[in-house]
Amino acid sequence: MSGFIEKVLALHNWWNGVNKVKASITKSSQPTRFGVLSAAAINPAAIFDPIATHPDAVVSAIAARDVRRAEAQIAKYRLKNVTAYGSYDQLLADPDIDAVYIPLPNGLHYEWTIKALEAGKHVLIEKPIASNTREAAQIRDTAERTGNVALEAFHWRFHPAAHYVKELVDSGTYGALKSVAVKFHLTAGFFPKDDIRFQYRLGGGSCMDLTYVFSASSYFSSAGENTAVEVLRTEPRISKTDTKIDEAMKSTFTLTNPGKPAVTCNVDAELALPNLFGIIPRFWAGLPTATIELEKAQIQYNNFPAPWAKHSITIRERDGKGDLTGKKEARTCYKGGPEWGKIGEKWWTTYRYQLEAFIARTRESKALNPAEGVEGGTQAPGGGSVKHKSGLSGGLWMTMGESIGVMSVIDAVYRKAGLPCRGED
């Protein structure tokens, strides 16, 4: 999937003239210096590209178990002044690294996030943040104790389109929230059969890799660490090569916040949608979609994981009986929204918005500790200083409590399905 995203990103950047922006960026004198643990295929889209247009961030090091893989990635993407390390520990010991991005296999997220935090680094962790709820909570506790920032890289949560949809849901304009249905289908053959996503020991499974369905359900339901979860139904499709792996998972569960009515959620995650007649890939399965049912309307948010490429927000109104009418309206939101205001550009990807929030939060963290010597605020691509909301509240940040809440739903779904939670052998 990373290779596909990279191709889409290349087209996106060409169409929007992003390469010219990259060439015009002047890095600040005190940028946040990133180290990357693993020469993973997702790196170009998730970290190299957004850093290239951020004046206050640079890639300083890449570590791989084989130093030649790190060197090869540095050469391929023409990264300048980047050190290649042959072990993750070497990178964490580098005093010139301020923050670490962790795109390792799911089952390794917890171990290396804890080590990075203990080494004094801020950490951006690929989703899922850990293998289970217990590990996620320990990451939160370690981050609080060490005073470092830890963020689960649910990049879609930082895009203005997500905030716009959330505002529509929370405004009350369309009445109370009733249910959220989220699907994400990938066709068979998208990943090889021996891919890490199909290996239990590495934290594989559809619930783990397509965590977007749980993140979206939780976000639009305003769920968090203290939300009650009740799983009503699960329908897993078990891998033929590993009985602990769910190639697909359908589930119905309720999320109930204190003093609020329960919200029914239906998720449909598919890592290898079987071919029609065994030979024809079901490409028509459609884009990942979140469908939100409210008393007076239905909101459908198409391509919510990658709205920067293209998305649509369709609002269909209901009549007095609650039935959908023929009246509908299609909208988009590529910039601004209720959270970002004037910050951002229409061509910013979800990863770029995420990086903006991450850098701002780490700088605010350092501002609270004068010994660090870095003031809050970041520079916009067009020049000048921009200030974020105090504490980056709301959609501008994903709290550890929210990450723990998402992980608790995944754990509950696995238990209901009779499958072990990852990392709990």
pLDDT, residue 197, reads: 82
Distance CA 369, CA 76 (A): 38
pLDDT, residue 194, reads: 76
Contact predicate 122/35, CB 8 Å: no
Q: How far is CA 183 from CA 137, 168, 222, 324, 412, in A?
A: 27, 20, 19, 21, 18
pLDDT, residue 380, reads: 35
Identify the residue whose tokens are 């780490």: 362
Which stretch of DSSP H or E encloses residue 297?
strand 297-302
Contact predicate 247/419, CB 8 Å: no
Q: How does pLDDT run across 260-311, given as a tens digit for each residue?
A: 999 999 999 999 777 666 666 666 667 899 999 999 999 999 999 999 999 9
Pairing of strands 150-152, 122-125: parallel
Q: What is the pTM of this model?
A: 0.91
Distance CA 368, CA 185 (A): 43
Closest C-alpha among 350, 347, 351, 313 to residue 165? 313
* Residues with catalytic roles: 127
Q: What angle do CA 130, 135, 141 make, to 5 degrees?
A: 115
pLDDT, residue 4, reads: 81
Please report, in tens digits, the pLDDT of each residue of the chain (425 residues total): 667 888 999 999 999 999 999 999 999 999 999 999 999 999 999 999 999 999 999 999 999 999 999 999 999 999 999 999 999 999 999 999 999 999 999 999 999 999 999 999 999 999 999 999 999 999 999 999 999 999 999 999 999 999 999 999 999 999 999 999 999 998 776 776 778 888 899 999 999 999 999 999 999 999 989 999 999 999 999 998 899 999 999 999 999 999 999 999 999 999 977 766 666 666 666 789 999 999 999 999 999 999 999 999 999 999 988 899 988 999 999 999 999 999 999 999 999 999 999 999 998 876 554 433 333 333 333 322 334 443 344 458 999 999 999 999 999 999 999 999 999 87
pLDDT, residue 275, reads: 67
Distance CA 202, CA 24 (A): 41
Closest C-alpha among 382, 302, 297 to residue 348? 382
pLDDT, residue 280, reads: 65
pLDDT, residue 186, reads: 86
pLDDT, residue 364, reads: 85
pLDDT, residue 277, reads: 62
